[in-house]
């Protein structure tokens, strides 16, 4: 189905605010030229003759957005989970990512990754590749074929990598990035480039200056990591002694929000100053609860971020996280918020289902513009969820069914998926 006008019928569920759900049983959501024309209890006369797919009482929700995932790490999910972040990077991640210099290996691995994303509930994602330009372009090519809307980054790292995974200089990294940008900036319909300094320990000041110049020239978004692990934060302070907090190490190069759309993953241990700057600059936080547990990083104070009005979405952070479904990230976000409330700060109430659902839909989707909602004018991303694979003798409300689907996070529950008005599953 292409970008013509059509309707889906079912139980329509989407966020009207960060704390409220709209649920229309037996309702219709209309797509017109790739955008949502509205949700209706009955089809208006002007839409009576349009094609309509009836999904019965199945739940129809907006597509989900993963704000932080590492494509090359998909191959070793659930490996090295007894290690903390920095040891895990050096022991598992860097040696495995070095393999993507081999384009044959890269194509095989990325084909599996792209197919997994296509069959899951996510319709959009911001994705790390590796520092290898040919492999990153293969990743973009394969993702483009899925119909998913994604942003993909060629990783930059000119220091503190490994003998097999580090660029030879800041200039070499910048030159490779420029070559990649010139080749991919307008090449794909569904995939766009995003600047990707791995994190401050991997990028020299000289490289950050060069990336800043590229950002200003091409007006690109940026993705990186922030305040994930206490050892990492201490390391950044050693590397950047003239900064007061981790985020300032990005901000001094103009790569921390403002006119530069920015995603910072984790923000587990952000200081008051860092939080204030993120709010001022409109930085998006990619909350990655499963990864933060697996790598013993801690629990991000997401309740505070939401209450203070920061932009917060969800990230699977594969392979720190083991599951690419943002349904799973919703459940994990709720669960870790309960631990934060019980064990760390009793004034920080746990997340509700409504809040986690918002973060996984419109909260993260808004980084792409008008995405992640069935509000009129938003791009038409939709996922149809069927709960027949989890039978019960109970008569459940739509919200109860949504909660079960979130917590069970099973790809077998997906009946159909649409991205920007196109049926891709």
| pLDDT tens for each residue of 351-384 | 999 999 999 999 999 999 999 999 999 999 999 9
The per-residue pLDDT for 147 is 98
Q: Are 292 and 313 in contact (CB under 8 A)?
A: no
Instruction: Write the pLDDT tens digit of every residue in 208-234.
Output: 999 999 999 999 999 999 999 999 999
Contact 295, 256 (CB under 8 A): no
pLDDT the model gives residue 17: 97
pLDDT score recorded for residue 3: 56
pLDDT, average across residues 112-133: 97
pLDDT of residue 2: 45
Percent of the chain with pLDDT over 90: 96
CA distance 74 to 311: 26
Each residue's pLDDT tens digit, 253-310: 999 999 999 999 999 999 999 999 999 999 999 999 999 999 999 999 999 999 999 9
Once rounded to an integer, what is the mean pLDDT over residues 34-45? 97
In this prediction, residue 387 carries a pLDDT of: 85
Which pLDDT does position 1 carry in this prediction? Answer: 39
Global pTM exceeds 0.85 = yes
pLDDT-derived band at 389, boundaries 50, 70, 90: confident
Residue 67 has pLDDT above 60, yes or no: yes
- Residue 407, pLDDT score: 95
Domains of the chain in sequence order? 6-62+373-423 (2.30.40.10), 64-368 (3.20.20.140)
The answer to whether residue 29 scores a pLDDT higher than 50 is yes
Can you list the pairs that 184-188 forms with residues at least 24 positions away whose Cβ atoms lie under 8 Å? 184/137, 184/140, 185/218, 187/140, 188/140, 188/141, 188/144
Average pLDDT of the residues of the chain: 96
State the average pLDDT over residues 164-185: 97
Q: Is the pLDDT of residue 7 over 60?
A: yes
Nearest to 387 by CA among 364, 368, 415, 359: 415
Closest CA to 1 of 42, 33, 48, 45: 33
Mean pLDDT of the region 118-134:
97
What is the pLDDT at residue 384?
98
For the cut 90, the answer to whether the pLDDT of residue 390 exceeds it is no
CA distances from 409 to 44, 327, 330, 384 (A): 34, 5, 9, 13
CA dist 188 and 367 (Å) reads: 19
Taking the C-alpha atoms of residue 408 and residue 383, their distance in angstroms, rounded to an integer, is 16
């Amino acid at each position: 189905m292409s970008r013509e006008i059509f309707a889906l019928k079912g139980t329509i569920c989407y966020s009207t605010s960060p704390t409220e759900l709209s649920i229309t049983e037996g309702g219709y959501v209309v797509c017109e030229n790739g955008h949502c024309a509205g949700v209706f209890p009955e089809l208006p006369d002007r839409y009576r003759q349009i094609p309509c797919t009836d999904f019965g009482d199945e739940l129809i929700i907006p597509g989900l957005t993963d704000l932080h995932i590492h494509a090359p790490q998909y191959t070793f999910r659930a490996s090295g989970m007894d290690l903390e972040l920095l040891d895990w990077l050096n022991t598992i991640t860097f040696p495995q990512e070095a393999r993507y210099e081999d384009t044959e290996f890269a194509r095989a691995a990325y084909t599996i990754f792209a197919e997994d994303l296509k069959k899951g509930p996510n319709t959009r994602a911001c994705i790390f590749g590796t520092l290898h330009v040919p492999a990153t372009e293969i990743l973009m090519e394969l993702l483009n074929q899925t119909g998913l809307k994604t942003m993909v980054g060629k990783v930059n790292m000119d220091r503190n990598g490994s003998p097999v995974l580090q660029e030879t200089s800041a200039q070499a990294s910048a030159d490779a990035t420029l070559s990649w940008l010139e080749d991919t900036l307008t090449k794909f319909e569904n995939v766009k480039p995003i600047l990707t300094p791995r994190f401050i320990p991997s990028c020299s000041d000289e490289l950050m200056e060069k990336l800043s110049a590229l950002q200003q020239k091409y007006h690109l978004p940026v993705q990186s990591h922030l305040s994930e692990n206490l050892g990492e934060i201490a390391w950044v302070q050693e590397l950047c002694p003239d900064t007061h907090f981790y985020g300032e190490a990005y901000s001094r190069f103009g790569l921390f929000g403002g006119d530069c759309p920015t995603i910072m993953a984790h923000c587990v241990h952000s200081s008051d100053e860092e939080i204030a700057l993120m709010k001022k600059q409109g930085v998006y936080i990619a909350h990655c609860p499963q990864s933060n547990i697996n790598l013993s990083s801690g629990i991000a104070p997401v309740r505070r971020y939401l209450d203070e009005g920061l932009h917060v979405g969800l990230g699977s952070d594969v392979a720190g996280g083991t599951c690419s479904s943002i349904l799973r990230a919703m459940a994990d976000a709720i669960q870790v918020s309960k631990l934060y409330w019980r064990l760390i700060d009793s004034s920080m109430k746990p997340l509700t289902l409504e809040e986690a659902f918002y973060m996984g839909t419109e909260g993260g989707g808004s980084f792409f513009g008008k995405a992640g909602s069935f509000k009129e004018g938003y791009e038409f991303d939709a996922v149809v969820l069927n709960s027949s694979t989890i039978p019960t003798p109970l008569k459940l409300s739509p919200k109860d069914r949504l909660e079960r689907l979130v917590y069970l996070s099973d790809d077998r529950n997906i009946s159909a998926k649409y991205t920007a008005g196109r049926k891709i599953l």
